[in-house]
Structure 1
Amino acid sequence: MGEVWASLELNGWSIAGIVATLLVTWLLASIARKGVRAALQRVPNLGVGVRRLADRIVVYGIWLLGIGISLTFLGASVQPVLAIALIVGVVLVLVLRGIADNFAASVVLQTRHPVAIGDEIESGGFVGTVTELNGRAVVILTVDGRIVHVPNTQVLGEPLVNNSAHGARRSEVEVRVEVGGATVDGADEVRALVVEAMNGAEGVHRRETVQLRPITLAADRAVYRVRFWHHPLHGIAVTDAVVDAVSSALAARGITAVVTSDLPSAPLTPSLEI
């Protein structure tokens, strides 16, 4: 740095050259900003934050180049100037590496549309509704009210589950019926009663059929796993309505049963011996 400052020569021509260079730099930066914005306008659904970050990177790069050229009018040695520019460039690359990676990932996310604002997604161990897509992260609101900023590179690089893409989501409950206490004749009638009550629950979709699958059939009890479809964002409310509807229907017919959405984990099975 000392060698650079020692080699500077300030005179009228150098000042004129600097002024002219800075004016040209300002003009090129303005043109580049407009060009980048016009080009990014053609990219559908690209967020405002992403556009601003792109034109700032271009403008800052032009100004850095213009300032470097201006120093040469002061008689600065070329080699120290190049060394300073190289150091600054390396520092900028290291500092902006994460920003650039997230920016590139945001462009991919907002052009290929794997997620959109309002979707419920699972990413990075978090589940929530997408509230914002910006140049750094996908912002989601979890069901317990937390705001989570998941980096774009993480969303793009790791498995991403979009619960809203299909337009409906499947949930299930388990119905455990005491067969000896039933007043309904036959297991088929019990199943029909469960399906009818579930179809009448608020929020259960009719276009997808309710699926009832027997898990355990014994002399004293029967266990059924019942699957139903609902709006992607209404899983908890619809499941509560299903549990209430099925429990009330079975109780009204004098059937002792337990209806739960807290499904037990699968039992451990011994490995096969060869």
Structure 2
Amino acid sequence: MDDTHMLFHDLYEVLTTYWAHFLFLLPKLVIALVLLIVALFVAKRLSRVIGTRLQARSHDPLLAEFLTRVSKWILLGIGLVLAMQVLGAVGVVTGMLGAAGLTAFVVGFALKDIAENFLAGVVLAFNRPFRIYDTVQIRDNKELMGRVEALNLRTTLIKTFDGRHIYLPNAMVLREPLINFTRDGHIRQDFVVGVNFEQDPSSEKAQHLVLDFVRTFHDVETKEPHTPYIIVEKVEGTTATLRVYFWTYSEDYRRGTQELKSNLMQDLRQLLLQQGYPNPSTAQ
């Protein structure tokens, strides 16, 4: 009975001590919680104000959105640090990590990826190799091609033409070769036309027919320096292989290149058939 009594007495003493510490820290906990709530409210409101002003003055919504998110997280970080200082936890946490030898591990490994991608995002936001809704391709990989939807603190969001969302690390986007298909506003496309010119030994008539048709096709640019032209790649017997080059607007890459080229190739083949050229062919 004495041992049991001593056990319950010790347990009571421990719980009483913890309860006293809790009552001692309760005002600080309340203040820290209030600080976090205020910091969250201020961060949302102030970042919204900053974002509105940046978007009104900047012609680059991608940069404005990125800076808005950065300002929000900075304000939240300040609020968290203040709350930890109220609790007196900043020194405790730092001392514990240092004593355990984890500070270098955390900074060197856990935070390395976050810091690298954040800094890469800052470079991308100010260097601006792409704008919002630009069509880009990373690393010469068709699987990493699509429209830029957002630039986040760690990732760049790209939406592919088949509806997939790809979150690429900012460091990868900055490090790898990036092709921007829409930055210039115009893009050159080409395709091959095979023409049998039995009735046109020089093939000049076919070339003029093809070039005139391309020039008058909708959405094909005809002003210098973006004018369509044709070169003869090879001649085999009575068949000439013509490569057609044309420029178009690249703001909507999928419609401006893929659909336009497809329609142009199909309609050109029908025209050649109507003009008496036997078995014309088109290919990319």
- Using the size of structure 2 for normalisation, the TM-score is 0.69
Matched, 1:83 2:103: no
Matched, 1:140 2:175: no
Per-residue deviation at 1:70? Answer: 5.3
Matched, 1:56 2:76: yes
Which residue of structure 1 aligns with residue 3 of structure 2? none
Per-residue deviation at 1:39? Answer: 8.7
2:113 to 98, 101, 118: 98
Which residue of structure 2 aligns with residue 254 of structure 1? 276
Matched, 1:240 2:262: yes
Which residue of structure 2 aligns with residue 5 of structure 1? none
Structure 1 Cα separation of the partners of residues 263 and 124 of structure 2: 36
Structure 1 Cα separation of the partners of residues 35 and 106 of structure 2: 21
Per-residue deviation at 1:85? Answer: 4.1
Structure 2 Cα separation of the partners of residues 91 and 151 of structure 1: 22
Opposite residue 49 of structure 1, the aligned amino acid is R
Inter-CA distance 82–228: structure 2 relative to 1 (3 Å threshold): closer
Structure 2 Cα separation of the partners of residues 224 and 122 of structure 1: 29
Structure 2 Cα separation of the partners of residues 185 and 215 of structure 1: 16
Matched, 1:45 2:61: no
Which structure is richer in relative contact order (CA contacts within 8 A, separation 6 or more)?
Answer: 1
Opposite residue 259 of structure 2, the aligned amino acid is A
Per-residue deviation at 1:174? Answer: 0.3
How many residue pairs get matched?
244
Inter-CA distance 26–90: structure 2 relative to 1 (3 Å threshold): farther
Equivalent residues of 2:43, 2:73 under 8 A apart:
no
Residues 134-189 of structure 1, C-alpha deviations (whole Å, 9 max, x = no match): 11211111112211111111111111111000101111110111222xx4463222
Per-residue deviation at 1:205? Answer: 1.6
Per-residue deviation at 1:55? Answer: 3.3
Opposite residue 136 of structure 2, the aligned amino acid is I
- Using the size of structure 1 for normalisation, the TM-score is 0.72
Matched, 1:194 2:194: no
Equivalent residues of 2:28, 2:86 under 8 A apart:
no
Q: 1:45 aligns to what SS in structure 2?
A: helix
Opposite residue 252 of structure 1, the aligned amino acid is Q
Equivalent residues of 1:118, 1:130 under 8 A apart:
yes
Which residue of structure 2 aligns with residue 75 of structure 1? none
Which residue of structure 2 aligns with residue 3 of structure 1? none
Q: Going by fraction, where is helix more abundant, 1 or 2?
A: 2
Equivalent residues of 2:149, 2:159 under 8 A apart:
yes
* Correspondence list, 1:125-204, <5 A: 125=141, 126-180=144-198, 183-184=199-200, 186-204=202-220
Equivalent residues of 2:273, 2:280 under 8 A apart:
no
Equivalent residues of 1:176, 1:224 under 8 A apart:
yes
- Pairwise CA RMSD of aligned residues? 3.9
Which residue of structure 1 aligns with residue 6 of structure 2? none
Deviates more, 1:160-169 or 1:48-57: 48-57
2:129 to 90, 114, 128: 114
Structure 1 Cα separation of the partners of residues 277 and 245 of structure 2: 21
**Structure 2: runs of 5+ lacking an equivalent:** 1-16
Per-residue deviation at 1:116? Answer: 1.2
Per-residue deviation at 1:129? Answer: 0.9
Equivalent residues of 1:214, 1:223 under 8 A apart:
yes
**Structure 1: runs of 5+ lacking an equivalent:** 1-7, 72-77, 263-274
Residues 197-248 of structure 1, C-alpha deviations (whole Å, 9 max, x = no match): 1122222122211121111024321111111111221211110121022212
Inter-CA distance 57–211: structure 2 relative to 1 (3 Å threshold): farther
